[in-house]
Amino acid sequence: MNELDFWAHHKVVRHGRWVCWTWTGAKRNEYGGVRVNGRETYAHRYAYSLRFGPITEGLLVCHHCDNPICIRPSHLFVGTDKENMIDSAEKGRLSFAKKPLRIPTAKALAIRNAPGSYADIAREHGVSIRSVGRIKRTLYADTLVKRMLSARDARRITRLGE
In a domain, 73, yes or no: yes
Question: What is residue 76's DSSP assignment?
Answer: E
Residue 110 backbone phi and psi in degrees, to 5: -65, -40
* Alpha carbons 120 and 89: distance in angstroms, whole number: 32
One domain for residues 33 and 99: no
Whether residue 25 is contained in a domain is answered as: yes
> pLDDT at position 154, please?
57
- For residue 157, being part of any structural domain is answered with yes
Please state, in angstroms and rounded to a whole number, the distance separating the CA atoms of residues 103 and 97: 15
Using a 10 angstrom Cβ sphere, with 0-12 exposed, 13-18 middle and 19 or more buried, the burial of residue 77 is middle
In a domain, 48, yes or no: yes
Give the separation between CA 161 and CA 16, rounded to whole angstroms: 22
CATH code assigned at 62? 3.90.75.10
The domain boundary, picked from 53, 79, 105, lies at 79
The percent of residues above 70 in pLDDT, for the chain, comes to 78
Mean local confidence (pLDDT), 77-83: 91
Instruction: Read off φ and ψ for residue 68, nearest 5 degrees.
Output: -60, -20
Of 79, 102, 127, which residue sits at a domain end? 79
Cα–Cα distances in angstroms (integers) from residue 11 to residues 18, 24, 68, 122, 128, in the given order: 13, 7, 14, 47, 43
What confidence score (pLDDT) does residue 22 get? 95
pLDDT of residue 28: 85
pLDDT confidence of residue 57:
92
User: Would you state the pLDDT for residue 24?
Assistant: 95
Average pLDDT, the chain: 82
Alpha carbon distance 44, 68 (integer Å) = 8
pLDDT greater than 60 at residue 39: yes
